[in-house]
Amino acid sequence: MNALSLKQIFASLVLIGITMQMLSFGIAGQFRKNEGKSPEVLTTKQNGTEDFSPKSKIAPDLEEIAEEEFRGMRSNEIQKVIIQLKSETPLNESLGDLNTKDSAELFASEVKANQEKNGIIISDLIAVGGKFKKAYNNVGLVSAELPLSQVKELAKSENVEYISPDREVMGFGHVGYTAGIYNTGISDRGDSDANTWLVGSGIGVAVIDSGVYGGHDLFKKWDETSKVTSYDFTGTGNLADQYGHGSHVASIMSGDWRLGSAAYEGISSGVSVYSLKALGSLGTGTSANVIAAIDWAIANKASKNIRVINMSLGTPVRDSYKTDPLCLAARRAVNAGIVVVASAGNRGKDLYGNKLYGTIGSPGIEPSVITVGAANTLGTDIRSDDTVATYSSRGPTRGYQTINGVRKYDNLIKPDVVASGNKIIAAASPGSTFVTLFPSLKTGASSDADEQVMYMSGTSMAAPVVTGAAAMLIDTNPNLTPNLVKAILMYSAQPLNGYNTLEQGAGEVNIDGAVRLARLVKATLPTANGSALLKSSLPASQTSVISGQTVKWGKGVITNFGFLYGNDLMNKWQGMYASGVLVGDGTPFSGSSLSKSTTLTSGTLTLYQGVIKNNGVLIGDGTLFLSSNAMGGSPTPFYNAQGVLVGDGVLIGDGVLIGDGVLIGDGVLIGDSGSILGDNTSCMLPAP
């Protein structure tokens, strides 16, 4: 390793190691005086089954801090937290797509109810010496601060659903050809009308990141005005991209074709970019910043036609997705009809290069979002040499709830797909932290600040590829639900040989195949399970030609704990594609096995339980990798197909599963620093 790379890695470790230690929470209500009583029995529901076990209303990491204060290990400091409001309509249930009148009225009613609870929250906080900060009424969360010693007292309120710390979040840090939108054998990127050009025109995309340098040539429209509108959620009032991450991310998704003769053109160059700045100059922020941005996107969905949110950021996981405030906010956005795309994280290996499993960050652990891992294209447009990047975070998700003193892990299969993310060239924000710390990553011949580009690597770079693909699908058919967009992207993805579904999900995104499928979907979506979804037949050969190579569609969809496979996933309307449900609800978990829901799935579908490893042809023809008799949040460890205990140690000789005995912090630092420089392989070349 040369001295320069050592310097870069050290600088990145210092950069990512800096924290803001800000906390926040969501609340409502009157206190219930129940000292000395048994823990409240809370009902949780998953895959059609109810659990009446005692459950804590305080996030595990916040509970640990409070315990340290109780034992005198820290002072009674003021803590910032996020409180989830108790609601008649739980945040993880649907309020419907805001495009429909009834759903919009129901959503407005819920928002009004949240507003009315703010007065109660303020009085409750005053009673414990706390302070109300801000309400996020569109997502039913509130930020506040209070003495650490009073967290447990506040949790006794019968109107408080859950209290979480305002955790720190960080940005994780040739595309058109390898993604399948050029040279695919079909004109206009899948649009059968030769008079149109499918680029996401008129669609609003919210990029929640470190800001976007809107003056860059990659963000200029034909009339030289910027396609970027910026808002600040950091509280500083500074709209500039001081970190340099958000500009790179946004240009991968929306970069204009003129710079470098289209060498750096984004996936959907016609979209309107709404830069929602939630990360500061060091690439860090708080959960409250991100929640405020999501809240704004939901509130402005109709007026600005915001149909997709990109979150190339995340935080290490402690909560289950059922209680994690970032996940709850993301779910509300999906239920409002917005596709949410999140990066998986860059914690896929340890200091020695060993594979780590169970390292997906939040909000990537949320089942309603499209979680994206990074593929390494080796700089070529062809697909036959593509791999999963070594640093790309792997599932299963390791968020958990503590019930009766036992941790119940979510263990969902993630990511959903992968996309090119290694050593991608895109916009550089002049004078940014990245440009200053890593000058060797700058490339290209121009000295003009508005034309400068740089290399970056990570699942952060892969996520906007999928965000752009989602915008193109919505441009093709505006009535697609978020779940159907997700299903189409998975069904048409290319399975990569030698990787399991915890590494690649359904495979590498194939925009050619996805757009062709979206063109077949009826303009008015059916509502009855099993109804015909397409207006004409699926192609006889479900393949794409990308850069001269034939690429097979995987024809499968990841569910929470398994994999559904078959043509009827697209031939028929599946109830799991509707608003307000999860794709994973199509395969409910009961006892030790999965089954196909009779109301949310239909037709001839093959269900694979657990994780499978692909043989390079179709995931549906792959080899069983793990049996899932321990999935579904069971505290029991994993077992392989032969029933051999895997537990929180070695995952069938293929890597280490993050558990109680592995320090996730080590993976955060090494994974993120490794992804900044990328896998040391051939890569995308700058324009001549």
- Which ranges of the chain have pLDDT less than 50? 1-54, 91-92, 94-95, 172-177, 182-192, 194-195, 622-653, 659-674, 688
Q: Known catalytic residue: 216?
A: no
Buried b (16+ CB within 10 A) or exposed e, 214-249: bebbbbbeeeeeebbebbbbbeeeebbbbbbbbbbb
Whole-number pLDDT of residue 12: 44
Q: Pick the catalytic residue: 56, 460, 492, 597?
A: 460
pTM: 0.81
- Its sign, for the CA torsion 153, 156, 160, 165, is positive
Q: What are phi and psi of 643, to 5 degrees?
A: 80, 15
| 256 within 8 A of 188, measured Cβ to Cβ | no
Whole-number pLDDT of residue 647: 41
Structure token pair of residue 540: 């006889």
Instruction: Of 582, 592, 578, give the one whose Cα is nearest residue 634.
Output: 592
Q: Note the pLDDT tens digit of each residue in 629-664.
A: 333 333 233 333 333 333 444 444 456 665 433 333
Whole-number pLDDT of residue 632: 32
Indicate the angle between helix axes 459-476 and 482-491, nearest 10 degrees: 110
Domains and CATH numbers, the chain: 23-165 (3.30.70.80), 170-177+201-677 (3.40.50.200)
- For the chain, what is the mean pLDDT? 78
CA–CA gap between residue 164 and residue 32 (Å, rounded):
19
With tokens 């590829």, the residue in question is 465
Q: What are phi and psi of 451, to 5 degrees?
A: -120, -5
Chain length of the chain: 688
Whole-number pLDDT of residue 102: 64
What is the distance, to the nearest Å, from the Cα of residue 633 to the centroid of all Cα atoms in its chain?
A: 20
Q: Pick the catalytic residue: 97, 124, 209, 324?
A: 209
Instruction: Of 320, 325, 316, give the one whose Cα is nearest residue 402.
Output: 320
DSSP state, 315?
B
Q: Known catalytic residue: 460?
A: yes
Instruction: Of 482, 501, 684, 648, give the one whose Cα is nearest residue 581.
Output: 482
DSSP state, 337?
T
Q: Known catalytic residue: 295?
A: no
Q: Pick the catalytic residue: 245, 320, 393, 627?
A: 245
SS3 assignment, position 545: strand
CA–CA gap between residue 243 and residue 279 (Å, rounded):
8
Q: What are phi and psi of 556, to 5 degrees?
A: -140, 165
Instruction: Tell me the CA end-to-end span of the chain in Å, nearest whole number.
Output: 29
CA–CA gap between residue 676 and residue 547 (Å, rounded):
28
Q: Note the pLDDT tens digit of each residue in 268-318.
A: 888 999 999 999 888 888 899 999 999 999 999 999 999 999 999 988 888
**619 to 384, 495, 544, 585, 624: CA distances (angstroms):** 16, 6, 16, 20, 10
CA–CA gap between residue 338 and residue 620 (Å, rounded):
29
| 85 within 8 A of 140, measured Cβ to Cβ | yes
With tokens 């996520």, the residue in question is 463
Ramachandran assignment for 91, one of left (phi > 0), alpha (psi -120 to 50 degrees), beta (any other)? alpha
| 328 within 8 A of 320, measured Cβ to Cβ | no
